[in-house]
Structure 1
Amino acid sequence: MSFGPPNDPYGQPQHPQQGQPGYGYPQQGQPGYGQQAPQGVPPQGYGQPQHPGYPQQPGYPQQGYGYPQQPGYGAQPPYANWGQRFLGTLVDMLVFAVPYALVIIGKDTPALMLVGALALIGLAIWQLIQEGRTGQTVGKKALGIRLVRESDGQPLGVGMAFVRRLAHFLDSLACYLGWLWPAWDAKKQTFADKVCSSIVIRTH
């Protein structure tokens, strides 16, 4: 009687297939019990969170992070109404009232008149720079509105803001009709805004 390894019914000895791990051994490419997966390899299984750099699993749509659309990209910008624009202009006029008063009062005092004139010029230049770079003068900031390009929602720039100031003479033609135009215009634009492709929007 032989006591060798058991044979199968066809007389072939039972041996594990060469190159195949037996029961209880970790599968090739999978970490064994108590072992950690190599760094850079995503964990296996369902329901694991997605990480940057890993391919999206089929059937699980990847969630994105939306950003508010800017004017010119299909979004409807929140146009400032005529009342907001008017009040913003009124605040800007009140800001200029103090140096202008110095000019009026200083008619008999050349030094005081010079101070008032310099203050007016400096304030006008500062307001123009602020409007060109940020889209807001003192009055626009107080009313929560901003002057931007219609194409991309960015500030006009100092040069274009100056051109828009000059284009306001169109608004004064025909009994100041251009200043009233935002009251019924679809984009709340004056004639100067239409010429310069600018809009005034609400910031909050």
Structure 2
Amino acid sequence: MSFGSPNNPYGQPQNPQQPGYGHPQPDQSGYGHPQQGQPGYGAPQQPGYGQPQQGQPGYGYPQAPGLPPQQGYGYPQQPGYPGGSVPGGPRVASMGRRFGARVIDGVAFGIIYTVLIVVGVVGSLGAAQDCDPNSVNYDSCINDAGSDFASAFGAMFGVLAIVGLLYEWLMTGLVGATLGKLCVGIRVVKVDTGQKPGLGSSFIRWIIPMVGSIACGIGQLLVYLSPFWDKSGRQQGWHDKAASTMVVQN
């Protein structure tokens, strides 16, 4: 009785369709060999983290055409003007700089007021000295000198009010800044264009705090403090919102 060939000692028939141990099958790949249709070790894999996939922008890569750009500070960017402190755009002027500009303008006008008042007082005293104390018309002369001083002071006050209007209105509308703003490096611009406000917008921006000053200056103070309550990130006061302007740093 034969026990088979030396290569098959147990007499079991070999199956030519099944490979032996260590030989890869026709439809299956062995260890370390890439299977058909699947990438093996060293083959190109799916894009990893940080790499843009098809149809989707990855981290650090530009977005697909037609998608709106990202905006800064949580408010929408106005067309034609990069509003807010966005990289590459203007910086919103700080309230400290704006306060400094008001102080400089106020000091300049205070000096002008003081000079005119001193001139008026000196002129009134000179007119009073011309009155003869021994004259029966002395009291009348003193009263006339005082009336002349009051009339001159009222006229000077009116002239200064007009000069202040022209100064704030024309400088802001045509230049974009008063002398105080120029000193601290800030300017007023239109929100939608970034250009100078123009005479119409600058007048609106000026007249609102002036109307507020009628109530003992309380309304004017609230207008100038209103940028602290602005939630848009532009620090616009009520007068800025009405005139569609904002204050930026040069």
Match of residue 182 from structure 1? 227
Query: Which of 171, 175, 193 is 1:130 aligned to?
Result: 171
- Cα gap change, 1:71 to 1:202, in 2 (>3 Å): farther
Gaps of at least 5 residues in structure 1 are 1-69
Q: What SS does the aligned partner of 2:246 have?
A: strand
Please identify, of 128-137 and 102-111, the stretch whose mean Cα deviation from structure 2 is larger: 102-111
* Residues 32-43 of structure 1: pairs in structure 2 closer than 5 A: none
Q: Give per-residue Cα distances to partners, 1:144-181, cap 9 Å, x unaligned.
A: 00011100011111232112111224696679433223
Match of residue 160 from structure 1? 201
Tell me the distance in 1 between the aligned counterparts of 2:91 and 2:102. 19
Match of residue 80 from structure 1? 93
Gaps of at least 5 residues in structure 2 are 1-76, 125-148
Tell me the distance in 2 between the aligned counterparts of 1:174 and 1:162. 17
Letter in 1 for 2:80: Y
* Residues 103-122 of structure 1: pairs in structure 2 closer than 5 A: 103-105=116-118, 106-107=120-121, 109=124, 110=149, 113=153, 118=159, 121-122=162-163
Letter in 2 for 1:155: K
Please identify, of 185-194 and 96-105, the stretch whose mean Cα deviation from structure 2 is larger: 96-105
Please give the TM-score of this superposition, normalised by the length of structure 2: 0.45
Match of residue 64 from structure 1? none
Match of residue 21 from structure 2? none
Q: Give per-residue Cα distances to partners, 1:29-62, cap 9 Å, x unaligned.
A: xxxxxxxxxxxxxxxxxxxxxxxxxxxxxxxxxx
**1:200 pairs with 2:247:** yes
Match of residue 146 from structure 1? 187
- Cα gap change, 1:120 to 1:176, in 2 (>3 Å): closer
Please give the TM-score of this superposition, normalised by the length of structure 1: 0.54
Tell me the distance in 2 between the aligned counterparts of 1:124 and 1:175. 15
- Cα gap change, 1:104 to 1:174, in 2 (>3 Å): closer
Please identify, of 177-186 and 114-123, the stretch whose mean Cα deviation from structure 2 is larger: 114-123
Q: How many pairs were matched up?
A: 134
Tell me the distance in 2 between the aligned counterparts of 1:74 and 1:195. 18
TM-fit CA distance, 1:140: 0.5
Tell me the distance in 2 between the aligned counterparts of 1:164 and 1:90. 18
Q: In 2, are the aligned partners of 1:132 and 1:156 still within 8 Å (CA)?
A: yes
CA-atom RMSD, angstroms? 3.2
- Cα gap change, 1:72 to 1:181, in 2 (>3 Å): farther
- Cα gap change, 1:174 to 1:150, in 2 (>3 Å): same
Query: Percentage identity across aligned positions?
Result: 28
Q: What SS does the aligned partner of 2:181 have?
A: helix
Match of residue 90 from structure 1? 103
